[in-house]
Chain A
Amino acid sequence: MSLITTLARMEAVRDGRAQPLTTVRHRHLTERPLVFVPLTTAGEAGAPLGALVGTDRERPRLLVVPQPRDRDLRSAFLAELAEEMLPYVEGFAGDVTLEERKETDPATGKKVTVQVELCAGAPQLLVPSAAGVSYVRLLGRSMRFRRTAEQDPGTPHPAPPRVPLLGRWLTHFGERARVPGSSLLLPMTELLSRHWATGQSTLEDQHLGALLAWIDPPEGLTGAEAALRAELARDAAGQLLHPPAGPATDPAFDNKLLAPAVARHDAGLPGAAEELRALLETQLRPTWEAVWRGVDLLRALPEGERAGERWKRDRWSYTAHRDRVRAGEPPQPRRDDAVTAARKLAARETAQAQLEAQEALDDPLVMAGRRLAGEAFAGEVTEVVMEYTEAKVPRPRPLVTVRTDDGPYLAEGAKVHRVLADGKAQSAEFVGRVPGDPGALTVRLTGGMGRGKAPEPGSVPEKGDRVCWTLFEHAPRGGPELPDPERTPWTHGGPPGEPGVELPDPVTAEDLL
Chain B
Amino acid sequence: MPDLTAGGPEGRTARTALALREATAAGRWALLDHPLLALPVAGTPAFLEPDAVVVHPDGTWTVVEIKSFPVIDGAADPAKVGAAARQAAVYVLALEELAARTADGDPARVRHEILLVCPKDFANVPAAGLVDVRKPRATTRRQLARLARVEDIAAELPAGTTFDLCLADDGKTAGRPAEELAAAVEAVGAAYAPECLAACELAFHCRARARAEGAVAALGRGLRGELGGLTTVESVLAAALGPEPAEEEAGVPDPTVAALRRAAALRAEALAPPLTGIEAACR
Complex CA–CA separation, A23 to B283 (angstroms): 13
The count of chain A contact residues (Cβ–Cβ below 8 Å) is 55
Contact of A419 with B259 at beta-carbon distance under 8 Å, contacts A4-B266, A201-B194, A334-B73 already known: no
- Does B233 count as interface, using CB distance less than 8 angstroms? yes
CA distance A266 to B123 in the complex (A): 22
Residues of chain B with a CB closer than 8 A to A368's CB: 266-267, 269-270
The answer to whether the Cβ of A56 comes within 8 Å of any Cβ in the partner chain is no
Q: Min CB distance, A4 to chain B, in Å?
A: 5
> CA–CA, A13 to B197, complex, Å?
19
A113 in the interface (beta carbon within 8 A): no
Interface centre among A204, A224, A335, A467 (most CB of B within 10 A): A204
Find chain A residues with CB under 8 A from B131 CB: none
Q: Are A508 and B124 in contact (CB under 8 A)?
A: yes
Q: How far is the CA of A142 from the CA of B73 in the complex (A)?
A: 11
Q: Is B282 an interface residue (CB 8 A)?
A: yes
Q: Is A465 an interface residue (CB 8 A)?
A: yes
**Contacting pair A510 B125 (CB below 8 A):** yes
Question: Is the beta-carbon distance between B283 and A361 smaller than 8 angstroms?
Answer: yes
The reply to whether the CB of A371 lies closer than 8 angstroms to some CB of chain B is: yes
Q: Of B4-12, B143-151, B215-223, which stretch is located at the interface?
A: B215-223
Residues in A whose Cβ lies below 8 Å from that of B70: 45-46
A269 at the interface (CB under 8 A from B): no
Interface membership of B178, Cβ < 8 A: no
Interface residues of A in 341-381 (CB under 8 A from B): 361-362, 364-365, 367-369, 371-372, 378
For A420, the closest partner residue in chain B by CB is B283
Q: CB-nearest residue of chain B relative to A334?
A: B73
CA–CA, A203 to B278, complex, Å? 34
Q: Determine if B282 and A9 form an interchain contact, defined as CB atoms under 8 angstroms apart.
A: no
Partner pick for B219 among A46, A201, A364, A512, CB 8 A cutoff: A201
Q: How many A-B residue pairs have CB under 8 A?
A: 137
B267 with A10: CB separation less than 8 A: no
CB distance from A378 to the nearest CB of B (A): 5
Determine whether A1 belongs to the interface, using a CB cutoff of 8 Å to chain B: yes
Choose one: B72, B194, B282, B283; the contact of A203 (CB below 8 Å).
B194
**In the complex, B226 has a CB within 8 A of chain A:** yes
- Report chain B residues within 8 Å CB of A512: 119, 122-124
Q: Number of B interface residues, CB 8 Å?
A: 52
Task: Tell me whether A10 and B220 are in contact in the complex, defined as CB-CB below 8 angstroms, given that A4-B266, A203-B197, A334-B73 are known contacts.
Answer: no
Contact status of A364 and B270, CB under 8 A, knowing A10-B236, A11-B237 = yes
Are A510 and B270 in contact, with the CB atoms below 8 A? no
Q: With a CB–CB cut-off of 8 A, which chain A residues contact B260?
A: 3, 7
The docked-state distance in angstroms from the alpha carbon of A465 to that of B282 is 12
A202 at the interface (CB under 8 A from B): yes
**Chain A residues with CB below 8 A from B198, complex form:** 203
CB within 8 Å of A: which B235-283 residues: 236-237, 240, 259-260, 262-267, 269-271, 273, 276-283
Within 8 A of B (CB), among A307-362: 334-335, 361-362
B195 contacts chain A at the CB level, 8 A cutoff: yes
In the assembled complex, which residues on chain A have CB atoms less than 8 Å from the CB atom of B236? 6-7, 10
Does A138 sit at the interface, judged by CB under 8 A? Answer: yes
Closest A residue, CB atoms, query B223: A6
Flag whether B21 is at the interface (Cβ < 8 A).
no
* Cross-chain contact A365 with B267 (CB below 8 angstroms): yes
Among A114-138, those with CB < 8 Å from B are 134, 138
Tell me if A233 counts as interface (CB < 8 A to partner B).
no
B68 within 8 A of A: yes
Q: Tell me, yes or no, whether B163 is within 8 Å of chain A by CB.
A: no
B122 touches A20 (CB 8 A): no
Q: Are B278 and A141 in contact (CB under 8 A)?
A: no
Residue of A with least CB distance to B280? A466
Question: Which of A9, A141, A368, A369 neighbours the largest number of chain B CB atoms within 10 Å of its CB?
Answer: A368
Residue from A138, A200, A419, A510 in contact with B72 in the complex, judged by beta carbons closer than 8 Å: A138
Q: How far is the CB of A145 from chain B (nearest CB, A)?
A: 10
| Chain B proximity of A14: nearest CB distance (Å) | 6
| Chain A window 180-206, contacts with chain B (Cβ cutoff 8 Å), 1 for yes, 0 for no | 000000000000000000011111100
CB of A8 within 8 Å of the partner chain: yes
What's the Cα separation between A468 and B265 when bound, in Å? 16
A268 at the interface (CB under 8 A from B): no
Is A13 a contact of B233 with CB atoms below 8 Å?
yes
CB distance from A290 to the nearest CB of B (A): 20
Cα A210 to Cα B69 in complex, Å, equals 26
**Chain B stretch 101-150: residues in CB contact (< 8 A) with chain A:** 119, 121-125
Most A C-beta atoms less than 10 A away, residue of B68, B125, B267: B267
B281:A201 contact, CB within 8 angstroms:
no
The residue in chain A whose Cβ has the minimal distance to the Cβ of B266 is A368
Set of chain A residues within 8 Å of B240, measured between Cβ atoms: 7, 10
Q: Are A465 and B281 in contact (CB under 8 A)?
A: yes
Q: In the complex, A152→B179 CA distance in Å?
A: 67
CB-CB < 8 A to B277: which residues of A?
364, 466
Q: Measured between alpha carbons, how far is A446 from B250 in the docked complex, in Å?
A: 43
- Check A105 for interface membership: any CB of B closer than 8 A: no
B227 interface residue (CB < 8 Å to A): yes
- Interchain CA distance A505-B70 in the complex, whole Å: 14
Q: Which of A11, A141, A232 contacts B73 (CB 8 A)?
A: A141
Contact: B122 with A372, CB < 8 Å? no
How near does chain B come to A298, taking the closest CB pair, in angstroms?
A: 18
Residues in A whose Cβ lies below 8 Å from that of B276: 466
**B68, B219, B233, B282, most chain A CB atoms within 10 A:** B282
B56 within 8 A of A: no
Q: Which residue of B lies closest to A419 (CB)?
A: B283
A335 touches B73 (CB 8 A): yes
Query: How close is A139's CB to chain B, nearest CB, in angstroms?
Result: 10
Q: Identify which of A20, A405, A465, A466 gathers the most chain B CB atoms within 10 Å of its CB.
A: A466
Which of the residues A9, A134, A138, A510 comes within 8 Å of B124, measured between beta carbons? A510
A270 contacts partner chain B, Cβ-Cβ < 8 Å: no
**Docked complex Cα distance between A465 and B277 (Å):** 10
Q: A43-B68, A141-B73, A368-B269 are in contact. Are A3 and B263 (CB under 8 A)?
A: yes
Q: In the assembly, what is the distance between CA of A468 and CA of B198, in Å?
A: 44
Chain B, Cβ-Cβ closest to A205: B194
CA distance A46 to B119 in the complex (A): 11
A20-B271, A46-B70, A141-B72 given. 14 additional CB < 8 A pairs? Answer: A1-B222, A6-B223, A13-B233, A45-B68, A45-B69, A201-B219, A361-B283, A364-B270, A368-B269, A368-B270, A467-B281, A468-B278, A505-B121, A508-B125
Closest 3 CB pairs of A and B: A510-B124, A201-B194, A368-B266
User: Can you list 13 residue pairs at the A/B interface with Cβ under 8 Å?
Assistant: A1-B222, A10-B216, A45-B68, A202-B220, A203-B194, A204-B197, A364-B270, A364-B277, A367-B282, A371-B266, A465-B281, A466-B280, A513-B122
Task: List residues of B whose CB falls within 8 A of some A CB.
Answer: 68-70, 72-74, 77, 119, 121-125, 194-195, 197-198, 204, 211, 214, 216, 218-220, 222-223, 226-227, 233, 236-237, 240, 259-260, 262-267, 269-271, 273, 276-283
